[in-house]
Structure 1
């Protein structure tokens, strides 16, 4: 029974299938990042790709998938014998789980032989297994930072070097890196984002006819996978033959100086950083020309290459809208080369990736109706965009006067340019997911001790502590000479202290006392800056707002800070101040998250001027709610938004009841802290 859905049976895969094919034709392009909502066949088409790739020749029995004539890591870098046996096998698709350990990725000491025979032998990891194949990371945006660093090193050098646990080995690790992600769950680190040669945005088709076809094919596959796959055998062979022909042709495709100049003009016009964009665009254009059986790069090849290689390189921070300005692309390239595109091998290579009758067809350039997987249009809610309600309206509720929601007294100020925020941490030492905020025992960092592997400890082997644990028992185990005798209980793994990621829950006062335009603009800018800081530190974020008579969870905890920024940008202000309700809603959210993710410690950020004006006994209720959070040891921060000459200091009183740090909104910036230190 076939394990994967046929590549040529995916309905209207567009730019996604094209990008995957181009990067296998020319692996130097650097891999593909696929961004899209849930249920858009991202994983399905990646797993199907390996089945249509031409097989490769490897040295028989080699642990590193070495090509004939290459060097052998097992023999100190000496080349394989000229008469070494060769075998042909399919290209591997190696999946890297987001929770993988460093040992599993890099490889490490072979435990069985080290403990039983006393030999230090290297056991290859996933990078070695993926050499000359595909390395697939689903939910790549959730990958731990220490694993991201390993991928960056391997992608930059094309080799993996291991110096640990008595092992010293270096081997080739050239692979096509394919990552899929849902942007709602958070963005990638900029360094890893730039390492992906191409990126595509996918979403489900809105055409009912296409959606019907997707469902029809999927149900047919689930009902009888063998028969369904057999109906696409010819289409799969056509795609394989076309990839093989393109791989043979790509080295001879001419890239003229005029096309190089167009590529340079494009990269300059889109203001991308560095020169990698120019190089990747050029390589992609050459691969696209080879895919279409052309001997020279054309303007259309450059256009397609730019659409795939530039969108993710023009983003300066996670709040920027993804995608490419198609008008600017047309303006720079023009249309002075209106030649038709010749058909490629196996049909026209365009249209759907299979029409249901078994003829298959190849991946299309996308953009011809159906599912558009190229650049998306900027969102109307982008941070910093002018708001139609951005008017300076005096609030009748600034002193606590009643105001109904939706009244003319509501304002919706827009945040300014974010700045570098101060670092706020959770006190003590946690044990959460590796990140960059608070002190914790994590999977990476400096080694501070060891723990028993049989007791649940995980991480790299601590050889010295393992030897110390085994040494006192040698006489009982009957050893007189020879290697030490080990039991499983002797194994120790390193305990490392580093930094963890936290849950940063914002509890934002959106009442009338905050509604003055300049004050709300300052507040939104501060929160936006803290969101950007949370993105850099790999935190989850959530947003609770309160105004009128109630509080609401505007954004459940998520890794996507850009979604939080959009919710913040659309936040109006007006009405009374239900401070107690806001704190109680924050308490409810934190209690729920404690069950869902018990290892992630929270940091509650309350943004308010401290006034409580909604309901009877509003002040006393807000103090009781603050005491409830303090009693549970929730680490809190109160950002004081009070302004003017006459200040009541209510936010400072709230901070005392929360046992929280109190920071005026103007002192959230790192520069303000540095200035205070210099003044002192």
Structure 2
């Protein structure tokens, strides 16, 4: 029977620290969701106290490069020795210990993949700068998840490999005074050496993972490891039901994707047909599943009821701006052979390229002999912002049919652009001309205000709208950003570029303006807002090299989702 202290989030966090300290590499890691504060610092202090005194615990710095992460050439030692000397990276230095990863939600995808590979193999491979080596790197991670927004979360590749997920945001200051589980390392290690676990226990964890909607095959494997550690912590040499329950609560419950189904009451068979062994197995299964269900946090349960996952994120609706190589400016992403007159000299990389050859070149002590092939220049990449230009047909035909829905959809899309930190602009065309209602901005308030004031009625100066969108897109491109034009219209132009009425001339002008927009290479999407798909809108989309999206009988939410799918598919 557990005491009240044992039912608190802080007690379970302390238990997780003891289990992780017993075998960091076996557990893979801990995802610790907590803001900087007393609770997080108290947990990290507890973990340090549970680990052996000489355990390495380096911190991974933001934006760490491959050389510092994996290892590379030790330039001073290489220059002294005249041959390549290896310098281990952070993962190799942490062999047998724990790596603390602050702001883990901001790790780049490439860094996360390299760390995940080291977790899988227990080593790092170095093959660069004339070096070829494999270094042991068996370590565990403490991934500090400090994300504030819904779309900020630890890399799925790393979270999947971390056995323990903790959330300390609900821990209060008085909770930190409660006693926590201790660790007798020598006794626990002795129990682990001869630990046994029957196949039924393994199957039980797999069935519980399935009941919670967990598709990852790593989850039950990690749960079994934690169950073994929990048994060793309690001085047992065989995994018991309490150990499975603790593993289900600590490993499987935080990963749950839906609530476990309530067990249906079974009919009692005649006494002669009763199978005690099977009945006891099902009862044990239900008890372990109940332990996992009881461990679901209240916030998680609410998200599950809403049909969201344990780490619910906002949908990724757009694309990042295009990454373009720049010779003189941008973010450094490595080095390459080249002429320093056509780029920025990478001095350290140049010395690295030359250092292994000094003995063969006969360099005297204190001198470095350089050759043209040693020269390295910076590889720089500048990522541009995306600016979405909404060009909305506010003419009489559109206003009568779909302008209200178009307004609602544009408002939803504007909000999504704001979440992605993109800029948005709004052009409306009606009567005889097009008006720039909203210059490129990140202000959602200004965007909504401009959209609310969007009038309807009058002629359809489609060519003027396309010309305005093309001019704005070109200005955005000159400013170093990537424009995307989203045109909402039924395609039925009736006002020419000169402002004169007439469908034939207006249609020709619209097609010419669409071709001019396409000539700039601007990404575009045309949404046919008519109640029935219009051939005129289809022809216009073809002329502007845009994807054509008819939206008959759609409300604002449906229109927004369709635009999100189409723009993502073209990224």
Task: Provide the TM-score with structure 1 as the length reference.
Answer: 0.53
| Deviation (angstroms), 1:179 | 0.8
Aligned runs of 1:352-363 on 2, under 5 Å? Answer: none
| Deviation (angstroms), 1:260 | 1.4
Aligned runs of 1:422-461 on 2, under 5 Å? Answer: 425-426=321-322, 428-430=324-326, 442-444=332-334, 447=336, 449=338, 457=346
Distance in 2 separating the partners of 1:382 and 1:459: 52
> Contact conserved, 1:630 with 1:657, CA < 8 A, in 2?
no
Distance in 2 separating the partners of 1:508 and 1:441: 30
- CA deviations 1:61-120 (Å, max 9, x no partner) are xxxxxxxxxxxxxxxxxxxxxxxxxxxx52121111122222112222222122234232
Distance in 1 separating the partners of 2:356 and 2:286: 73
Distance in 1 separating the partners of 2:391 and 2:477: 19
Aligned runs of 1:554-633 on 2, under 5 Å? Answer: 580-586=436-442, 613=455, 629=476, 632-633=479-480
Query: Which of 504, 522, 526 is the matching residue for 1:664?
Result: 526
Structure 1, 176-185 or 642-651: larger mean CA deviation:
642-651
> Contact conserved, 1:39 with 1:204, CA < 8 A, in 2?
no
What is the match of residue 94 of structure 1?
58
Name which structure has the greater RCO, CA cutoff 8 Å, separation 6+. Answer: 1
Greater gyration radius? 2
- Distance 1:641-1:159 versus aligned 2 partners, 3 A rule: same
What is the match of residue 535 of structure 1?
none
- Distance 1:431-1:154 versus aligned 2 partners, 3 A rule: farther
> Contact conserved, 2:339 with 2:377, CA < 8 A, in 1?
yes
- Distance 1:662-1:302 versus aligned 2 partners, 3 A rule: same
Could you say what secondary structure the match of 1:91 adopts? Answer: coil
What is the match of residue 387 of structure 1?
none
Distance in 2 separating the partners of 1:378 and 1:655: 44
Task: Provide the TM-score with structure 2 as the length reference.
Answer: 0.62
| Deviation (angstroms), 1:277 | 2.1
Alignment of 1:485 onto 2:367: yes
What is the match of residue 639 of structure 1?
486
| Deviation (angstroms), 1:36 | 2.9
Distance in 1 separating the partners of 2:74 and 2:483: 46
Alignment of 1:291 onto 2:288: no
Distance in 1 separating the partners of 2:408 and 2:70: 49
> Contact conserved, 2:390 with 2:425, CA < 8 A, in 1?
yes
What is the match of residue 161 of structure 2?
195
> Contact conserved, 2:485 with 2:522, CA < 8 A, in 1?
yes
| Deviation (angstroms), 1:375 | 4.3
- CA deviations 1:573-595 (Å, max 9, x no partner) are xxxxx984543433x79xxxxxx
Aligned runs of 1:47-58 on 2, under 5 Å? Answer: 47-55=44-52
- CA deviations 1:283-325 (Å, max 9, x no partner) are 1122222223344333443233234334676xxxxxxxxx554
| Deviation (angstroms), 1:129 | 1.5
- Distance 1:418-1:659 versus aligned 2 partners, 3 A rule: closer
Q: Which protein has the bigger helix share?
A: 2
Alignment of 1:541 onto 2:466: no
Alignment of 1:145 onto 2:70: no
Query: Which of 160, 163, 180 is the matching residue for 2:127?
Result: 163
| Deviation (angstroms), 1:431 | 8.5
Q: How many residues align?
A: 465
Unaligned runs of 5+ in 1: 1-7, 56-88, 218-231, 314-322, 341-364, 385-414, 434-439, 472-478, 532-538, 550-577, 590-604
What is the match of residue 250 of structure 2?
308
- CA deviations 1:486-537 (Å, max 9, x no partner) are 499x9988546586665446677999855439x967996x999x99xxxxxx
Could you say what secondary structure the match of 1:92 adopts? Answer: coil
What is the match of residue 395 of structure 1?
none
Distance in 1 separating the partners of 2:216 and 2:368: 53
> Contact conserved, 2:55 with 2:98, CA < 8 A, in 1?
yes
- CA deviations 1:232-274 (Å, max 9, x no partner) are 9xx79x7243x44333323334322221121121233344445
> Contact conserved, 2:70 with 2:91, CA < 8 A, in 1?
yes
- Distance 1:298-1:637 versus aligned 2 partners, 3 A rule: same
Alignment of 1:13 onto 2:10: yes
Distance in 2 separating the partners of 1:132 and 1:261: 31
Distance in 1 separating the partners of 2:40 and 2:195: 32
What is the match of residue 118 of structure 2?
154
Distance in 2 separating the partners of 1:325 and 1:150: 31
Distance in 1 separating the partners of 2:233 and 2:365: 58
Distance in 1 separating the partners of 2:34 and 2:436: 36
> Contact conserved, 1:24 with 1:176, CA < 8 A, in 2?
no
| Deviation (angstroms), 1:545 | 7.7
Alignment of 1:378 onto 2:303: yes
Aligned runs of 1:476-555 on 2, under 5 Å? Answer: 482-483=364-365, 485-486=367-368, 494-495=376-377, 497=379, 503-504=385-386, 515-516=404-405, 541-542=420-421
- Alpha-carbon RMSD across the aligned residues, in angstroms, is 5.8
| Deviation (angstroms), 1:155 | 0.9
| Deviation (angstroms), 1:134 | 0.5
- Distance 1:334-1:162 versus aligned 2 partners, 3 A rule: same
- Distance 1:137-1:431 versus aligned 2 partners, 3 A rule: farther
- CA deviations 1:586-634 (Å, max 9, x no partner) are 3x79xxxxxxxxxxxxxxx99x99x95399xx999x8797786466343
Distance in 2 separating the partners of 1:169 and 1:429: 31
Distance in 2 separating the partners of 1:331 and 1:36: 35
What is the match of residue 501 of structure 2?
none
Distance in 2 separating the partners of 1:155 and 1:263: 23
Structure 1, 103-112 or 45-54: larger mean CA deviation:
45-54
Query: Which of 197, 202, 209 is the matching residue for 1:267?
Result: 209
| Deviation (angstroms), 1:378 | 0.7
> Contact conserved, 1:442 with 1:498, CA < 8 A, in 2?
yes
Distance in 2 separating the partners of 1:41 and 1:449: 51
